Amino acid sequence: MDDLTAQAEALLADMKPLSPSAAPGQNMLPPNTRRDIEGKYGASPVWRAGDAPATLFVHGWDDTHRVWRQFAMDFIQNQRPAILMDLPGHGASGIESAGWAVAGTSVREVCDAEGPIDTIIAHSFGCIATLRAVELGAKADYLVLIAPPLSEGKGGFQERQKKKGYSDEVIARAEQLHLERTGLPLSRTNFLRVVESFSGKVLIVGSHADSECPLEAMETMAEGLPNVTVYAVDTLGHRELAQDHGILADVLDFLGY
């Protein structure tokens, strides 16, 4: 194995989230609300409150379902059925691979097992997983995409790897290896076709202050799409967007609650 390939293999092995665990007693819902959805790559843990058509909450990279403590608890307290999940490689999930394709498959499997799903609310990397799930056939009436990473610039895969010290050549080799092995690109951010063909309504939420996921990319994707609404704020950071009461109020308004 040449040195470039060895470094690329190290990059691929290093692509693991650093999310906190979801140990017993730390979850937002009681242990008896948990179930494990078996799937292609393993079991996905979900926690459910309510039996009617539900809202599924999908967290981002290096996070768990607990990021939704403000949003989901409002749904639960107002008796709106809610489902929380940990994505592959995160929290209580036992699935090792955490890439967008595996995550998207997991979201699709949860939707199939727990449906009907009225709304999917996703944050950051969870938006990419959600759009992949929709591409695979997941059904929902509404999508709420908060800080979706739709640009290869700030916050994109290549930028993250450069910050770790990997060169452009090593990153390119890793992408090549991943494509050869899986048939899928290592980084997937262009989901315009999925949004264009989605029959429901889409809300995209971004912030001018979000240094990780540029608002401009969201506005560009939404341009000319009558079923897509973009809501922009000025001061909230990337993770704050998934925890702010003002954003929650706008989401509830969009959903007609």
Predicted pLDDT at 23: 54
What CA–CA distance (Å, rounded) separates 126 from 120? 10
Predicted pLDDT at 154: 55
Tell me the domains of the chain and their CATH numbers. 3-13+39-255 (3.40.50.1820)
What CA–CA distance (Å, rounded) separates 236 from 208? 8
User: Which residues make beta-bridge pairs with 127?
Assistant: none
What CA–CA distance (Å, rounded) separates 152 from 156? 4
Cα angle value 135/176/1 (rounded, 5°): 145
Beta carbons within 10 angstroms of residue 17's beta carbon = 18
Closest C-alpha to 223, from 245, 196, 200, 243: 196
In terms of residues, how long is the chain?
A: 257
Task: Report pTM.
Answer: 0.92
DSSP one-letter code for 136? T
Predicted pLDDT at 150: 86
CA dihedral 119, 206, 62, 14 (to 10 degrees): 120
Structural contact between residues 54 and 139, judged by C-beta atoms closer than 8 angstroms = no
DSSP readout, 166-189? --HHHHHHHHHHHHHHHSS-S---
pLDDT mean by block of 10 residues, the chain; 257 residues: 89 79 63 92 95 95 92 94 95 89 96 97 97 97 96 66 88 90 83 94 97 90 94 96 97 96
Tokens of 171: 């990153």
DSSP readout, 214-234? -HHHHHHHHTT-TTEEEEEES
